Structure 1
């Protein structure tokens, strides 16, 4: 009878501990990874671009061209005070994509001959724009 009592007591104790743990877990916030944001209209930047990387690229455009988001992005149809970042309605966005391709091509062809380790961006938007919406064009004399 004594063995049965101790066995029953162990089962009761284990059950109580499990029940307490399950109850407490309902009140403890889960440590789930936040849902990773996916962008719907990346045509030049890699599809796996992170929000931080995209923000860095956009801030570089802002500084290099002296513009704000609305220069390339169209306003939202639902709320014109907000931007529709995925929209291609603003032609400046298409021009920006072409400029990104051109810059990458020049950098790859002339400045990245070896391995990709230690790459140097020899030119960027700022090289020509220098903080202006439209780069100043100078005609070289021969």
Structure 2
């Protein structure tokens, strides 16, 4: 009976410590393999940038990021195995060049949304309905 009670107390303490550690704010993992975005980008800025891509192209994270090999339910954000990630980097460089060459700091600049308008691929001509 005493062993059972000791086990119950130990289990309760373990559960309490685990729950407390989950409730504490944890430092986000530092991003790896940044080639275009600044290496010192904050976690919040990185998330905001990624959400901007989500909105501008109407895609989810898995569009550019591959699944982890050991846990396919999680994404491997550092991997370069998805070609869309490389294309996104090239597009970011392109828009930076355009903005630097043609637009001042006070002028609205070109972004992913400028061409994509929420679509994976930019449209090259208007919809038929819009043209009438």
What TM-score, normalized to structure 2? 0.71
Matched with 1:126 is 113
2:79 equivalent to 1:87: yes
State the SS of the aligned residue for 1:49. Answer: coil
Matched with 1:69 is 61
More deviation, 119-128/88-97: 119-128
Say how many residue pairs are matched. 101
Does the Cα contact within 8 Å between 1:37 and 1:50 map onto a contact in 2?
Answer: no
Q: Return 5+ residue gaps in structure 1 as ranges.
A: 1-33, 113-117
2:78 equivalent to 1:99: no
Q: Distance in 1 between matches of 2:121 and 2:109?
A: 20
Q: Return 5+ residue gaps in structure 2 as ranges.
A: 1-25, 127-132
Q: 1:1-142, aligned counterparts within 5 Å?
A: 35=27, 37-112=29-104, 119-138=106-125
What TM-score, normalized to structure 1? 0.66
State the 4+ residue runs in structure 1 displaced beyond 2 angstroms.
34-38, 118-121
